[in-house]
Structure 1
Amino acid sequence: MFAISLGDDGAELRPLEPWRAEEFLAHMDRGRDFIGQHIALPDFVADLDSARSFLRSYAEKAASDTGRIYGIWTDGTLVGGVLFRTFDATSGTAEAGCWLEPSAAGKGLITRACRVIIDWAVEERGIHRVEWHASVKNGASIAVARRLGMTREGVLRENYPHRGTRTDTEVWAVLAPEWRAAKAGAAS
């Protein structure tokens, strides 16, 4: 197994695999209300079987090269994660996403972890376009998209039914040339 450091604070990015289902469920239980404000992930991960099934679905996506999921650990505790909800190497497109429990919010973990996976997708896998979808009510997620240098492309009106209410979704994206230019600018 590998771990990628996310900075001097001891945070790490690691694969989130089915054998970690108990840990994933405990993490989801700690952050269920906070995470569920804008995304349905906590609704899908309600018990050990559903946690294992969710992680297994991403293991299958990784095996078929159609998605990936990674956990963020601080001090040995799973506190959030990032993923490629979709990943199409043939067309060069992917959709990144994230979640975080409240104890880890506001520390830049999601931005740092997303930089790692987007850079891998662009530089190693040849992905040309990485999308980011966020509820218009999710200011923290929209702020991540901005910090990642993404461009707001529009709003999908009432496209996402979440807990009985249809919500609008902002679509953000970064193209490979933009990603590389921003990286080059940060390096100089």
Structure 2
Amino acid sequence: MFAIPLGDDGVELRPLEPWNAEEFLAHMDRGREHIGRFVELPDHVTDLASARAFLQRYADKTAVDAGRLYGIWADGTLVGGVMFRLFDTAAGNCEVGCWLEATMVGRGIVTRAIRVLLDWAFGVRGMHRVDWVAGAGNTASLNVARRLGMTRDAVLRESYLYRGVRHDEEVWSVLAPDWHKLRGASAR
């Protein structure tokens, strides 16, 4: 197994796999209320079987190069995750997503983790476009897109039905040439 440090604060990125189901469920139980404000993941991961099934679904996506899932660990405890929700190498497009426990918010962890995913998608896999889709009311998530230098492409009005209420979604993206320019500027 590998781990990628996300700084010098004990936070690292690792694959999140079916064998992590118990730890993943415990993490969802701790973060259920906070994570569930904008993300439906806690509604689907409610017991060990559903935790294992969710992780297996992403293991299957990884096996066919259609998505990937990574956990964020802080000092050895699973506290969040990032993913390639969609990954289409033929089209050169993918979508990233995230979630994080409330105790870890405000430390730049998701921004650092997504930056690793973007570097890999553009630099290693040759992707052309990476999308970020978030609820219009999810200010923290939209701020991550801004910090990463993404461009807001659209607001999809009432496109997301969540817990019986329709929500607007924002679609943000970054293209490979823009990312390479941003990363080149930040290296100076």
Q: TM-score, normalised by structure 2?
A: 0.99
Query: Which ranges of structure 2 fall in alignment gaps of 5 or more residues?
Result: none
Q: Which runs of 4+ in 1 moved over 6 A?
A: none
How far did 1:56 drift? 0.1
CA shift, 1:10, in A, is: 1.1
Give the equivalent residue in structure 1 for 2:156: 156
Distance 2:44 2:80 in 1: 16
- Deviation at residue 39 of structure 1 after TM alignment: 1.1
What amino acid sits opposite 2:178 in the alignment? E
CA distance in 2, matches of 1:163, 1:169: 15
Partners of 1:165 and 1:113 in 2: CA distance? 30
Q: Equivalent residues in 2 for 1:10-159 (5 A)?
A: 10-159=10-159
Q: Deviations over 1:12-69 (max 9, x none)?
A: 0000000000000000000001000011000110100000000000000000100000
One-letter amino acid of the structure 2 residue matched with residue 100 of structure 1: L
The alignment-based identity, stated in percent, is 63
Q: Deviations over 1:61-117 (max 9, x none)?
A: 000100000000000000000001000011000000000011111111000000001
- Give the length in aligned residue pairs: 188
CA distance in 2, matches of 1:28, 1:109: 18
Which digits, 9 at most, give the CA deviation of each residue in 1:100-137, with x for residues without a partner? 01111111100000000111011100110000001000
Q: Which runs of 5+ in 1 are unaligned?
A: none
**Equivalent-residue separation in structure 1 for 2:68 and 2:52 (angstroms):** 15
Letter matched to residue 123 of structure 1: G
If the length of structure 1 is used for normalisation, what is the TM-score? Answer: 0.99
RMSD between aligned alpha carbons? 0.4
